[in-house]
Structure 1
């Protein structure tokens, strides 16, 4: 029985992951509504075409104001994104960076900027 539930969960999760462009566009819109002017990028497995059922969608929002780099802002963005249609169980990993801290803490190339 456990295997059946895991398989169902895996299929549902992977179907969400395949919609990464659509979900990232919702996150991008929510970021701009909550944090104002910012650049939003998708990085990692989604844009590198190496998603697995255990993956998440890595989204980076670049903001100028360091005061926006808080968990409260991340929560506000995710809540707004859900209001805009993001499924509650969407596997999104949102990080907020400033240009200064991105040079120190993010080594991956920014690959794709979602529209929205």
Structure 2
């Protein structure tokens, strides 16, 4: 199941991170911690940082460097207008897919009842 979870997560992680940033700005480690708190315990920190680079390049976030007590400045990511639009599209797509998958699951469950 772990590999299936990893593959499914790859397709949805961007939307999940955008949803976290919709709540409030955060830096990479905060985002990783929040994901782990939400149950994504096997998520590798490097995966999140690579994703943050991509969403920054795609223009979905604004980045501000803030001083850190423990070393170099931290990059704090905040969702911008384009990111909010992308997140809205993610939720529409997610709702559509979730409904279709649940429909298939219910039909599959009903067809197995007679066995």
Task: Normalising by structure 1, report the TM-score.
Answer: 0.31
Larger Rg: 2
More helix by share: 2
Task: Normalising by structure 2, report the TM-score.
Answer: 0.31
